[in-house]
Amino acid sequence: MSDIRVKICGLTRIEDVIAVAEAGAAYAGFVFFAKSPRAVSVSKARALAIEAPLGLAKVALVVDASDAYLDEITGEVPLDLLQLHGKETPERVTEIKQRYGLPVMKAVGISEAADVEQLDVYGKVADQLLVDAKPPKDAILPGGNGLAFDWRLISARRWPVPWMLAGGLTPQTVAEAIAVTGVRQVDVSSGVESAPGVKDAAKIRAFVAAARSGRGAVPRL
């Protein structure tokens, strides 16, 4: 299962970025959302991205960001992918793709079957999809809440672009998530932390290893 690609999001320290690369993850995510305990400034993200080992794809997570803020981020930080985690419309996704010339991944929150339809809509305009748990109505954060959703809602579903699964994944659950959904990319943040914004290298290694051996897991259906 070495073809499973892992994204570790919410990185705030260079030692964590290095640990992500050494574990064999494919993506490193930086959060540009002030309300998040994992938020980084543009200057901090630039320093982390510049020092990141070669081959690690650098992702900027933004939430309903203005053009001015995106101009600042993309002008300062060497990036490979923009992750839109707010209420961006399909039209806004297209605008951002055209303006910045970077691949765009759109996050879609799932809690019930009706939510899955939005993946078909955004799959027509985004370069990738992030299938995440829909946050509670009173949640401050649009993601990174450590919540999972019923993976059976998307079991055997496919879209015209690559997609990634997020939402409450841990080293203990990621193999089952892969077995149930057939996903080829997984995203984790709080599930590999010792504290908000502080990653645990051992948990990162365990998560990547579990993801790559995932198909051997027996799903609980």
Active site members: 9, 132
Query: How long is the chain?
Result: 221
Coil, strand or helix: which one is 72?
helix
Distance CA 172, CA 114 (A): 28
Residue carrying structure tokens 């060497």: 78
The DSSP letter of residue 39 is B
Angle made by CA atoms 130, 135, 140, in degrees to the nearest 5: 115
In this structure, the strands spanning 27-32 and 185-188 are unpaired
